């Protein structure tokens, strides 16, 4: 069993032959596409994956992945910490053609090589686990800056209503003063 900080690459063939279990963590920053969805790349991904040999001698991977990440709250636009977790059930195939032959309910990952990034086994599932509209819980947004910003916008509108009219009048007055001189 592999445990603790995990290597970036795994020999999925060997693990399947040994019915190996991989348990441990790796840095979130190893997940490039998933990382693009986050406010920052702090933290680790924790996982436990069991490898076995399935149909057509393919590697099957079952397990669980979890992490805690910071996303942008869609109410206050500040970071909100969200815990994500997902079950993993994937089949490793060698090519796009093989991937297309899988049953509809089977998830496949292409790896032509026996060595594959451990991140590839869990990245898609983590991306799917990210909420469409991440936000703090009701009333949990810090300082509610969102509401303050709205008030300011409303104030500015009032200002423009009261402030710009006198200027327009002034311009008219200046225009009239200038008229006789021209
Ligand atoms: Zn918020």
Handedness of CA 51, 53, 55, 57 (dihedral sign): positive
Quote the tokens at residue 39: 């406010």
Ligand 1 center to residue 78 CA distance, Å? 6
Handedness of CA 112, 7, 63, 137 (dihedral sign): negative
For residue range 149-160, what is the model confidence (pLDDT) as tens digits? 555 555 555 544
Ligand 1 center to residue 53 CA distance, Å? 45
Ligand 1 center to residue 88 CA distance, Å? 30
Task: Provide the β-strand partners of residue 25.
Answer: 5, 46
Looking at residue 134, its pLDDT comes to: 96
Q: Which residues of the chain have pLDDT under 50?
A: 145-146, 148, 159-166, 182
For residue range 111-149, what is the model confidence (pLDDT) as tens digits? 999 999 999 999 999 999 999 999 999 999 987 544 545
Ligand 1 center to residue 62 CA distance, Å? 35
Ligand 1 center to residue 127 CA distance, Å? 21
Ligand 1 center to residue 180 CA distance, Å? 60
């Amino acid at each position: 069993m592999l445990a603790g900080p995990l290597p970036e690459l795994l020999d999925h063939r060997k693990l399947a032959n040994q019915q190996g279990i991989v348990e441990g963590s790796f840095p979130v920053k190893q997940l490039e596409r998933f990382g693009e969805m986050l406010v920052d790349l702090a933290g680790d991904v924790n996982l436990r994956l069991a490898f076995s040999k399935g149909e057509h001698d393919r590697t099957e991977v079952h397990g669980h992945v979890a992490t805690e990440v910071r996303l942008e709250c869609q109410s206050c636009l500040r970071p909100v910490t969200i815990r994500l977790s997902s079950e993993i059930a994937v089949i490793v195939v060698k090519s796009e053609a093989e991937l297309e032959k899988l049953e509809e309910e089977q998830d496949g990952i292409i790896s032509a090589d026996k060595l594959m990034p451990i991140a590839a086994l869990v990245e898609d599932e983590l991306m799917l686990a990210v909420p469409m509209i991440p936000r703090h819980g009701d009333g949990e947004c810090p300082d509610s800056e969102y509401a303050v910003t709205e008030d300011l916008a409303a104030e500015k509108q009032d200002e423009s209503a009261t402030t710009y009219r006198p200027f327009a009048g002034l311009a008219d007055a200046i225009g009239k003063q200038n008229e006789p001189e021209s």
